[in-house]
Amino acid sequence: MVTGTARLPPGPSLVWSGTMRCLPRWSGAETVGENARNIRLFWELLAGLTIIRLYLAASVPLTPDEAYYWVWSRNLQPGYLDHPFMVALWVRVGTWIVGDTTLGVRLLGPLSVLPGSWALYHAARRLLPGSPWPQSGLRAALLLNATLMLGLGAATMTPDTPLLFFITLFLYTLSRAIDPELTARAALPWWIGSGLLLGLAFDSKYTAVLIGLGLGGAVLTTKRLRQQPGPWLALPGLFVAMSPVIVWNARHHWASFIRQGGRTGDWHPARALQFMGELIGGQIGLATPLVFILFVIGLWVCVRRNWLLAWLALVPTAVFVAHAFGDRVQPNWPAVIYPVLAIAALEAGWRIRWPVVSGLVITMIVCIQAIFSPLHLVPHRDPVLRLTGGWDEFARKVALQAKAQGATALAAEDYGLASRLAFTQNILPVIGTDPRWDLFRLPATAMAKTVVIEEQRHGREGQKAATSCREVRGQAIRCYAVHEPDFVTGVRLPERS
């Protein structure tokens, strides 16, 4: 139901009905105590979601990529081939607290949602100044928490996890920096903080630069901001925060920048329709359908009414749409603009009750399936099972077989397979043979006697290869060629403590 496209001014007669009955509702007649109670109920809900996410983080086995980031965390450095360093630092902190466990790898993900939601709550109240207090902040935080991207993503550890955290903090400091009631001098610390936080977001994932470009466009096209010293003095803080990644790239022949920047040259217009459909479909899935609709409508309204939010969201959106004309856009890439869209969605004045309910229900269904697998889906229809299922038994089996054959190590070229084997078993050390490991400060091995494991592909198994499969409930998920012992050189991966 549409409550109006124009923003409603706050006042004693205002009634807002845009949440679930069990969530906050306000009217001008409500007392301060009732508002405080509703805010408390919201944070209690968020605390409950955090507990569920922590349980999910501890229960679902690691994906190969998460094990790869765990390997990073055992060899901290300012940059890596695939991403900046922040995800490795978060994993290192989590495993320092609770050990080299699945929960340790993911610990900071669920915990970061609490301060991130607090930051988004306050950012929305200031970036939507005409909305009634405190509805705008609670509604924005509810929408973001109702997305599958945050609901499930916060229980895993990927570069998107710290990225979303620092983007929400950046939106808070930015909302303080642009406050028209502050003098240019009083706003200066908030601008510098915004630059530092945007730099930390860049240290999490390179897509944060798109938010920076959007902010630059907003500053250059807004006279009041353009004439302030704050936006310009924020640039040194931004580059200071980004400098570890830049220096690492400079010392490694710009390897990571070239790898990520090389994607911009792809051009396959004949497949643009397919890629665009995948981009839209991925966002419908990760945002959940009704929340996605609110995101789109809110962005459209912001183009006419909230130029700052429009800039922050449209620049990344335009880049992703343009990329879809040349290559596939991974579903998680647009996650960088989800906090912005959660605020922008409120500009339309639509109810969020059913989008929030549906998003939370969808997320809960996915979580239940991930933990308990009540629906015995075939592996190719269950992406969580396909990535996480059967690793413990498989790794232990191939390690024991290799040791019985006289091998002194396991070897794998695929980075995810090698990392998962290193995290899962301590029977034999694991050697990575992919050239990417040369960018790590890890010990090289000289002609170790190893069993080589690789994903089974037709025509590539070789005469000396056996087959071993990851299985769940007796059903093969994925099979691997296991070659007889041979002498292999590579890099020795760290072992679990």
DSSP string, 401-413: HHHHTT-SEEEES
Q: What are phi and psi of 276, to 5 degrees?
A: -65, -40
Predicted confidence at residue 11, as pLDDT, reads 33
**The one-letter amino acid at 295:** F
Question: Is residue 132 pLDDT above 60, yes or no?
Answer: no
Say which residue the tokens 């908030």 belong to.
Answer: 190
Predicted confidence at residue 333, as pLDDT, reads 95
Neighbours of 380 (CB within 10 A): 10
Question: Is residue 13 pLDDT above 60, yes or no?
Answer: no
pLDDT tens-digit map of 160-185: 999 999 999 999 999 999 998 899 99
Confidence label for 143 from pLDDT (cuts 50, 70 and 90):
very high
Predicted confidence at residue 38, as pLDDT, reads 72
Least confidently predicted of 13-22, 383-392, 406-415: 13-22
> Residue 326 corresponds to which tokens in the numbers above?
């040349």
Q: If DSSP codes are grouped into helix, strand and coil, which group holds residue 457?
A: coil
pLDDT tens-digit map of 183-200: 999 999 999 999 999 999
What is the 8-class DSSP label of residue 194? H
Q: What is the mean pLDDT of residues 284-300?
A: 96
Enumerate residues 6+ apart whose C-beta is below 8 A from 147: 286, 287, 288, 291, 338, 342, 359, 363
d(CA 224, CA 299): 23
> Residue 359 corresponds to which tokens in the numbers above?
């998003």
DSSP string, 46-104: HHHHHHHHHHHHHHSPPPHHHHHHHHHHTT--SB-SSSBSHHHHHHHHHHHHH-SSHHH
Question: Is residue 438 pLDDT above 60, yes or no?
Answer: yes
Q: What is the mean pLDDT of residues 145-174?
A: 96
Q: What is the mean pLDDT of residues 389-403?
A: 95
Predicted confidence at residue 378, as pLDDT, reads 82
Q: 267 or 57, which is more confident?
A: 57
CA-to-CA separations, 43 to 27, 110, 155, 212, in angstroms, rounded: 20, 14, 18, 30
pLDDT tens-digit map of 218-265: 999 999 999 999 999 999 999 999 999 999 999 999 999 998 876 666
> Is-above-0.75 flag for pTM?
yes
> Residue 72 corresponds to which tokens in the numbers above?
């990073």
Strand partners, 430: 410
Nearest to 116 by CA among 83, 177, 161, 69: 161
Enumerate residues 6+ apart whose C-beta is below 8 A from 438: 491
